[in-house]
Amino acid sequence: MPSFICTACGTDFPSSEAPPERCRICEEERQYVPPGGQGWTTMQALSVSHANVFRQYEPGLIGIGTEPRFAIGQRALLLVTPAGNVLWDCISLIDEATVTLIEGLGGLAAIAISHPHFYTAMGEWSRAFGDVPIHLHADDRDWIVKPNDAVSLWSGETLDLLPGLTLIRCGGHFPGSAVLHWAGTADGNGIVCSGDTLTVTPDRKFLSFMRSYPNHIPLGPKTIHRIGAAMKPFAFDRIYGHYFDRVIPTAAKAVLEESVARYIAAISD
């Protein structure tokens, strides 16, 4: 039986003879059902109509996205480190060219995902690289729609993933929304891979923080203060958001602190 993928959010559902009647990811207020209704595809069909593309941002950091744009349209990040390679966030399409490229760079040691909207086809990605572990925060376990033995739930505020790589729970968008800090890159100044836990704004000058981006539901000041506090112990100069062009190239920690203050002032006025 085929495994159907939601065309609105990109989530891969358990195998079934017919497409699911509904997508509970899209029906929740942080996502949405398109005006034309729920649509479905399969990995086989998606691989015919779409292909993955790649962009190297800096040594050891490669963006992987799908064209034409599919579902939410995010891109994943491949971190190539001496201790092993990590896929940060996930996309729905895993094709032969992508597997070949990543295997040529040493394969994957782990997958880590910021929040449920980017779980997508995480099980297929894990399987393609030898059932590598998929690290998700335990606070979001109820949003796993396709259980997989490779899923490894972590709890608490941080997880040391590999040497130099730390998962940080910020919360906000989802209770377990996380970012990935890489201490050993950007000339030693560090980077943050943020998904949309910390969203790089279109002008690439600030960050924003929302409960629901498509439905414009903001977060409250206590939550924003908590996000700022979670990031305070970590040094970083760049932030890579969830789209190819959403990058804050320098002074990113100062941008985060200014963005927290700006956001709280805006919602308190």
Q: What is the pLDDT of residue 186?
A: 82
What's the pTM value of the predicted model, to 2 decimals? 0.97
CA dihedral sign of residues 66, 244, 26, 178: positive
Average pLDDT score over residue span 84-92: 98
- Looking only at the bridges linking them, the beta strands covering 158-162 and 151-154 are unpaired
What number of other Cβ atoms are within 10 A of residue 205's Cβ? 11
Bridge-based pairing of strands 40-42 and 3-6 is: antiparallel
Residue 20: what pLDDT? 96
| pLDDT over 90 (residue 184) | no
- How high is the mean pLDDT of the chain? 97
- Among 34, 28, 128, which residue's Cα sits nearest to residue 76? 128
Choosing among 3.40.640.10, 2.50.20.10, 3.60.15.10, 3.40.50.9100, the CATH entry for 3-268 is: 3.60.15.10
- Are 141 and 119 in contact by the 8 Å Cβ rule? The answer is no
- List, in sequence order, every residue forming a beta bridge with 54; answer none if it has no partner: 64
Is residue 44 within 8 A of residue 96, CB to CB? The reply is no
Euclidean distance between CA atoms 267 and 73, whole angstroms: 28
Examine the pLDDT at 264 and tell me if it is beyond 90.
yes
Whether residue 116 is predicted with pLDDT greater than 80 in this model: the reply is yes
Q: What is d(CA 108, CA 102) in angstroms, rounded to the nearest whole number?
A: 7
Question: Is residue 185 over pLDDT 90?
Answer: no
Contacts of 127 (CB under 8 A, 6+ apart): 150
How confident is the model at residue 213, as a pLDDT?
A: 97
Q: How confident is the model at residue 259 (pLDDT cuts 50, 70, 90)?
A: very high
Cα 89 → chain centroid:
3
Tell me what the mean pLDDT of segment 17-36 comes to: 97
**Whole-number Å distance between alpha carbons of 19 and 208:** 35
> Where exactly are the structural domains of the chain?
3-268
